[in-house]
A and B are shown apart, each in its own frame.
Chain A
Amino acid sequence: MNLARFFAAIVRRELQIAFKRWGDLVSPLMFFVMVASLFPLALSPQHEMLRNLGPAVLWIAALLATLLSLNALFRADIEDGSMEQLVLSPYPLALALFGKTVAHWLLNGLPLVVLAPALAVTYYLPGEGVRALSLTLLIGTPTLSLLGAVGAALTAGVRQSGGLLALLVLPLMLPVLMFGARATDLAASGEQISGPVYLLSALFLLALSLLPLASAAAIRISLD
């Protein structure tokens, strides 16, 4: 079997498992929707202030929702022995973990990208801002998933690693948050956003090319 079919088999299995566990899927999304929709209700309803706060709040909620969903990324596989089988399969471990990360993004990142424009309306973001929010989330959330996968792989062997994982990966996620929120903010005030968007894309490509290998190395250490 070639590598592409192996990759497809991994993604397919992840999706099969996820659809059997709706609850785990929905709770990070619920968190995102609740945080993002409570802010406009709690703040005083001034268009100008909401429009200024919107990009930051939406991006922070998306980042925290991603963090919430990361803990379980490799935990179950290590506990039930599937990870040993993946490590001992003749296919590259990095590809297997990349497959799992892609599935994670499809199930956790993509819904955020889809939901965000609806929530942006409650912040009176203009059309330009909503488009920029979708674009930056589309580039930024896969980067967050890839970064989170390394953290999840490193902490997979540690018991009660929730806080540790956040401490490890949050600093690495900050550039994504800053460029994403800034680009949305700039677009909402009608300015050029190509600068931060290019930087976000560069971060994404860097993460895409290096981090699956880092995750694989981390998993081998965790299993030792």
Chain B
Amino acid sequence: MVDCSKTCLSAIDLTLWRGPNCLFEELSFQVDAGSLLLVRGTNGSGKTTLLRVLSGLTRPESGHVQWCGESIEKTRQAFTAALAYFGHADGLKADLTVTQNLEFSARLYGRSGEQVSGLLKALNLSQCAQLETRYLSAGQKRRTALARVLMSNATLWLLDEPVTNLDSVGRDYVEDRLREHIAGGGLAIAATHEDIRLASESPDEIFLGDDA
């Protein structure tokens, strides 16, 4: 059994089928504070679904997910307070401007307007801050969604393809923030088919799909 008075996310015997396909069976792993786990796999191998299961959005057929030793179903509020989910969809309102979208998140997380504009500058979004997000490029939308994760103060980051669509400057920025987050005792799980380079040792990986 997992001993967890410390901060950790553990998956215990997760099994999930989608139609006739078994996405994962009796999958168990644990992510401790200060570490990054990469979820690898081909397209359609269930990376996004695994992240959804870990976040509690989708229920696994069997097995469960524990946060600090407690099932996330029981500690939903404590768990969601510690969680930043960077999903497959950006979660942006197409009719609102970048600033309006982020102001909503800032209000939720208790951040000031200055912090928002600071983030926009860091993410190279200042020049499109007053544009409705429907007019942004895929990469700019990704950056805007990322700003929400960065202002969240969450301990656990669940990132679905965090560097896809980003240019090299954007990738470096994301990798830097990820490194800082982990060095500060945070946890991160990233589903990606691209390499994420952290300066230290290479992160743990799990593989989904037949060729694993």
Contacts and interface: CB of A to CB of B under 8 A. Distances in A.
Interface of A: 1, 5-6, 9, 13, 16-17, 20-21, 76, 79-82, 84-85, 87-91, 223-224
Given A88-B83, A90-B77, A223-B57, A81 B96 contact: no
B142 to A, nearest CB: 12
25 contacts: A1-B107, A1-B110, A5-B107, A9-B107, A13-B100, A16-B95, A16-B96, A17-B93, A20-B95, A76-B93, A80-B89, A80-B90, A81-B90, A84-B91, A85-B87, A85-B91, A85-B148, A87-B57, A88-B57, A88-B83, A88-B85, A90-B80, A90-B81, A224-B58, A224-B59
Interface residues of B, number: 28
Contacts of B81: 90
Residue of B55, B59, B89, B96 ringed by the most chain A CB atoms within 10 A: B89
B68 interface: no
Given A1-B107, A80-B91, A88 B55 contact: yes
Q: Is the interface of A mostly helix, strand, loop or mixed?
A: helix
A30 B97 CA distance: 29
B171 interface: no
A219 to B, nearest CB: 11
A88 B56 contact: yes
Contacts of B88: 81
Contacts of B198: none
Nearest to B100: A16
B30 to A, nearest CB: 21
A9 B96 contact: no
Nearest to B93: A17
Contacts of A13: 93, 96, 100, 104
Contacts of A20: 95-96, 132
Given A80-B90, A84-B85, A17 B95 contact: yes
